[in-house]
Structure 1
Amino acid sequence: MSRRPSALLRTVSGGAAVLTALASATGCGSESGTSGTSSPSGEVTAAFVACHGSGQLLGAGSTAQANAMDVWKAAFSSGCPSITVTYGGGGSGAGIQQFNQGKVAFAGSDAALKQSEIDASKQVCTGGQGIDLPMVGGLISVVYNIDGVDHLVLNGQTIAKIFNSEITKWNDPAITALNPGVALPDADIQSVHRSDDSGTTANLTGYLAVASNGTWPYPASKTWAGKGGQSANGSAGVAAQVKQVKNSIGYVELSFAQTNGLKSAAIATGASKPVDATAANAATTIAKAQPAGTGNDLALNLNYATQDEGAYPLVLVTYEIVCDKGNKAATLDALKSFLAYTSSDSAQQAIGSQGYVPLPSAITSQVKNVIPTLS
């Protein structure tokens, strides 16, 4: 197998990327010890990451991380031209299915593997199983399109009732009570949910299950169970639908809210004031995530019921799902090199400008320790 070491440098300034391939670095799938830094002009410069392997590296799954993947693929291909990374969306459920069928080297999922999915992965991970590596931090924006309403506050109960067709008017007393002085229209609410099995849906319904005081009657699930509403495929589909339809509401990863110019509701959590949907507020919640996996599986428990000041509760962590053992030899080096880049400080900073939440170093350091052990 070809082993042409190279390195990559990524610069992000004002949302524009300048990609430059640099000199060689040593150590497969590891950083040279130089972390990303910020220049006086605000540019973020990537760390040097070794590049090994060649050919095509296939991934699929979460659409919430699709915009992050676009940033990463461009940077990585510039530094590692011998490797072509292809990532297809389709949702977390479809990505896990393709992974467990041996069609992709890694899957993106906004929800950790269930035991049944781990069991199925053993058919393709010879001598091992699928594991969860947290890679993309984010938040779920409850996006809305109401003329004249620039700031909207909702809570777990109102969100649950809206998406289950129990609150059907924007001027419903439950909503107006949360928004004193806001002129909410006497208009029908058009809710939009995901049509595909989605980790974003799993995180939203996980939040509703604990934050709606029993109003949401369904368990957390990748498959939508709420009554009524319209459906759309992927985060891009939901964002496009909300953007086009007046008096609509949906849920997407913050990156899609930003790229589509959509407004995001603040969430009343029980803290002293409602919490805005910002990366900084989401980072407060993600930083307190607790381990849920064992061994090299780094699944996390997120506290959707947080009432901490400035802690946005509707957060998600997207995992890259890989085999701990039994990865295909033809793509193993490329996979480890790509994951080493995406978990680097600089790669995490690069997606911060795209509406994502750079993962805390306490999490990425664990990921970096696991990557060299993949076999």
Structure 2
Amino acid sequence: MKRATWRPTRVAGLALLGAVALTVAACGPGGVDGDSGNDDTAATGGGADETSELSGAIAGSGASSQENAQLGWVAGFTEANPGVTVSYDPTGSSTGREQFLNGAVQFAGTDSPLKPEELEAAQERCGDGEALELPLYISPIAVVYNLPEVDAEHVNLTPEALAGIFAGEITRWDDPAITEANEGVELPDLAITPVNRSDGSGTTENFTEYLAAVAPDVWTHEPSDTWPIEGTVSGAQTQGMIDTVSSQEGAIGYADASRAGDLGTAAIGVGEEFVPYSAEAAAAVVDASPPTEDASDLRLTIELARDTTESGTYPIVLISYLVACSTYESEADAANVAAYLSYVASEEGQERAAQPDVAGSAPISDTLREQVDAAIEQITAAG
């Protein structure tokens, strides 16, 4: 096996916000301060270079929850590596995994780990190598609602009430199951319209995992990346979810917190308190969660503690993974993918995504970063 060589430079830059298909074309070095490459260290901790040796193009597809973070990551990486074009299309987790496995893209984003049959397919797609699953985007899933007349920072929802709403058992906002947890808040006599994702979504899988863990007597469905109840109101991908909730007063849905916008967001019952979402509360749950039983040095998958009662934690969290191959046929693909993933995992990359005007995500811990970097070092070119 021939290991690809690459030397990414670390150059600070502004996040680019814009297109749905997140493509930042290769650009000349004139847009980068000529001295910054000499002053900064590489994202991977190596020596700094004035210019990057990398060139070519890589494409990714997948989780729409990562859309804002990917905008920032692609911008930062291509500022430091102007010879590389990186694109990311937020098609949804299921589509992203499918496109990665059929070779249409070099990497994928997914809000849920690869399934057993997908791991088998990855061995063939990766030239008899393996799939890397790297938890590089940690974010709370916000429960968003459209109640413009409600004068409250957050509506409190117990786990049972939240499950009852999405199971179709609690149908009005002034139901006692909601009002009893919101003393002093005037909730309207208004129909609740629960909204779900219409596409295969890791956000849906994470949300239904939470409901099944905390309210199994109310939410009797198995966790799934497709909504298990027919005849519901739905929206495609994260933007479709947000648009649908925004368009109908009384609607409620679930979406990556970075996309909540001006919608109201619920505080969720955890133990004896109600906790609104935050990056810090999401990170606290991840730190308290063990690896999955089938995790490995390359597959850093985590079993989230959904039913935690620990104070200050927000348990409706998604860990979104970046999936890549341990072996690529092209040395350029191996080098570019490894360099890009290293930038995403770096302190600079994680801090960029954590900025409120980018994605507001929770940076990974130093311990997890060490594990991620060790996995990325295994990426090679066949030959």
TM-score computed with the length of structure 2 as normaliser:
0.86
Counterpart code for 2:37: A
Question: Which residues in structure 2 correspond to 1:93-242 (within 5 Å)?
Answer: 93-149=94-150, 150=152, 151-242=154-245
Is residue 297 of structure 1 aligned with residue 299 of structure 2?
Answer: yes
Give the count of matched residue pairs.
Answer: 355
Counterpart code for 1:287: D
On the 8 A contact 1:63/1:89 being kept in 2, the answer is: yes
SS in 2 for 1:261: coil
Q: Which consecutive unaligned segments of at least 5 residues does structure 1 have? A: 34-46
TM-score computed with the length of structure 1 as normaliser:
0.88
User: d(CA) in 1 for partners of 2:193 and 2:209?
Assistant: 22
Deviations 1:208-246 (A, max 9, x none): 110114211111111111354311111111112212221
Deviations 1:239-292 (A, max 9, x none): 1221222111110111001xx22221000021x311111111111111222112
Counterpart code for 1:247: G
Question: Which residues in structure 2 correspond to 1:44-63 (within 5 Å)?
Answer: 51-63=52-64
User: d(CA) in 2 for partners of 1:221 and 1:146?
Assistant: 28
Q: Which consecutive unaligned segments of at least 5 residues does structure 2 have? A: 18-30
Question: Which residues in structure 2 correspond to 1:1-375 (within 5 Å)?
Answer: 5=7, 7-11=9-13, 20=33, 22-23=36-37, 30-32=44-46, 51-149=52-150, 150=152, 151-257=154-260, 260-270=261-271, 272-292=272-292, 293-326=295-328, 328-353=330-355, 354-375=359-380
Give, in angstroms, the shift of residue 52 of structure 1.
4.5
SS in 2 for 1:8: coil
On the 8 A contact 1:9/1:48 being kept in 2, the answer is: no
User: d(CA) in 2 for partners of 1:83 and 1:219?
Assistant: 42
Which has more strand, going by share of residues? 1
Deviations 1:34-73 (A, max 9, x none): xxxxxxxxxxxxx999945311110000000110000111
Counterpart code for 1:115: P
User: d(CA) in 1 for partners of 2:318 and 2:329?
Assistant: 26
User: d(CA) in 1 for partners of 2:64 and 2:337?
Assistant: 20
User: d(CA) in 2 for partners of 1:25 and 1:104?
Assistant: 34
User: d(CA) in 2 for partners of 1:106 and 1:139?
Assistant: 23
User: d(CA) in 2 for partners of 1:278 and 1:232?
Assistant: 24
Deviations 1:174-207 (A, max 9, x none): 1112112211111111111111111111100110
User: d(CA) in 1 for partners of 2:158 and 2:113?
Assistant: 25
SS in 2 for 1:219: coil
